[in-house]
Structure 1
């Protein structure tokens, strides 16, 4: 496709608007639709064309990018559209199963679908740090690669349409786990007048950056099946120290509800006889 491929954008919320602005700035003709028409005004002011309905918007271009609230919204928006010969890129957050069902649904209606998971918040769109996971038909990804790369980097993760959503949710899950730890840490020091939040953050961020590197060791252990080789901090030692974490929280008047689920998993793994391991084995404990 040419570098100024025309496209339709369904959904002009904060993320959709950010995407649309990037494409417009790069010279792509953009047709937009939103369930609340007034929300297209920011993009029409910059040159986008607003369609009166989602079906009309889809008919305007071969390529339609969908960025709506959820998978149900996608089905509702496209219900009356003629999808024959159309190409859909679904950037709506959903589950892997949602993506697979939506791809089959689109194919039944004569369309090709590529699923995407956006790893960015709206202000990041157009910056080097933003990227999108894509999965599904490789030919479709390659055909529109240049266009898709305008607002954010592209990372194709496989032909299984559900893989983009799986990568997306896995990374988001890790993010929320980190948020839980940050929340617990700030709660602990919140009542200490001698600890300034900004100064504590200066200590917390590099510590988390360093500890995040343990993900590589976990990946190596899962790949090799060796959970005990070169263990630096054994599960037995870590579980022995958890009492200090819990007692400190009690002393500081802080709930342990964010902390105890993970500590309980560690204790269960230890009770099963895996004290010589580190925490990599908890992955298997979580699998049902």
Structure 2
């Protein structure tokens, strides 16, 4: 018999199966459930107990981890259960919004349970390794109680605070970062491609610059928190002039110009607001404005 806490995993897609496998690998008695029962076969062979119903799966463990397609699916599975959530800690690793996380936390509390929201910043193959980054938010005592079990998913995990919505907010903030980096690379690749430069030739240069820019983030973060944006290397006025060159080159190369025009418009608004002599981090003031402004 294992002395480790039992865990239940609901949802056995690629990520859910990886989560359950990590718990099993760390020695936790693991109960699983999936709408398509055959998806549990590999886990059953590894020692998992396959529950006959969602209610049985929840009842089997004090820690219940859910990883399904969306919050609608979460509620579709759990809404009918009633009191079975009482005294359970429900960890939801399903992607969604901060509002959905907070609403689900209230819903779980009404049923006598405790809710932790989570965000997985890793591919399924990384679960259980040092490469897995997982964020949690919700009551700290519940996280502390089950931290040893949750660390089976990977040592790179962080509790962000008691606000249930923080995990989802961090998740989409990281996605914004990822998409903006990739879109910049793709636009630059298209621009060079018009001159016959292969993407593989641009990639090493792009990687070096991405790493250089990553080194600026900590300093920019301090400026943003202080509300002061010294032009340590270049002003927004100078950046704006270079942005116009990017637009001209994009037009000449006949590649899509929407992204560089947005970048220029953002900087132009900052200049109009009196920020032309500030450093680039001052653009945060433009991002903070509501869309209608």
Which residue in the other structure is 1:258 paired with?
259
Query: How do 1:120-269 residues align onto structure 2 when only pairs under 5 Å count?
Result: 120-152=122-154, 153-193=156-196, 195-227=197-229, 229-269=230-270
SS at the partner of 2:152?
Answer: coil
Equivalent residues of 1:107, 1:113 under 8 A apart: yes
State the 1:255 CA deviation: 0.2
Root-mean-square deviation (Å): 1.6
SS at the partner of 2:119?
Answer: strand
State the 1:110 CA deviation: 0.7
SS at the partner of 2:254?
Answer: coil
Which residue in the other structure is 1:285 paired with?
286
Equivalent residues of 1:90, 1:116 under 8 A apart: yes
State the 1:279 CA deviation: 2.3
- Residues 192-215 of structure 1: CA distance to partner in whole angstroms, max 9, x if unpaired? 33x332232111111111112222
SS at the partner of 1:259?
Answer: helix
Counterpart-to-counterpart distance in 1, 2:224 and 2:3? 42
Equivalent residues of 2:119, 2:171 under 8 A apart: yes
Equivalent residues of 2:10, 2:65 under 8 A apart: yes
Which residue in the other structure is 1:64 paired with?
64
State the 1:283 CA deviation: 1.5
Counterpart-to-counterpart distance in 2, 1:123 and 1:24? 15
Counterpart-to-counterpart distance in 2, 1:40 and 1:267? 55
User: How many matched pairs?
Assistant: 285
Equivalent residues of 1:19, 1:125 under 8 A apart: yes
SS at the partner of 2:9?
Answer: strand
Which residue in the other structure is 2:272 paired with?
271
State the 1:3 CA deviation: 6.4
- Residues 170-218 of structure 1: CA distance to partner in whole angstroms, max 9, x if unpaired? 112111111111111111122333x332232111111111112222222
Equivalent residues of 1:3, 1:147 under 8 A apart: no
Counterpart-to-counterpart distance in 2, 1:47 and 1:189? 53
Q: Which runs of 4+ in 1 moved over 4 A?
A: none
State the 1:41 CA deviation: 2.5
- Residues 110-130 of structure 1: CA distance to partner in whole angstroms, max 9, x if unpaired? 101111111111122122121
SS at the partner of 1:158?
Answer: coil
Counterpart-to-counterpart distance in 2, 1:226 and 1:111? 44
Equivalent residues of 1:99, 1:162 under 8 A apart: yes
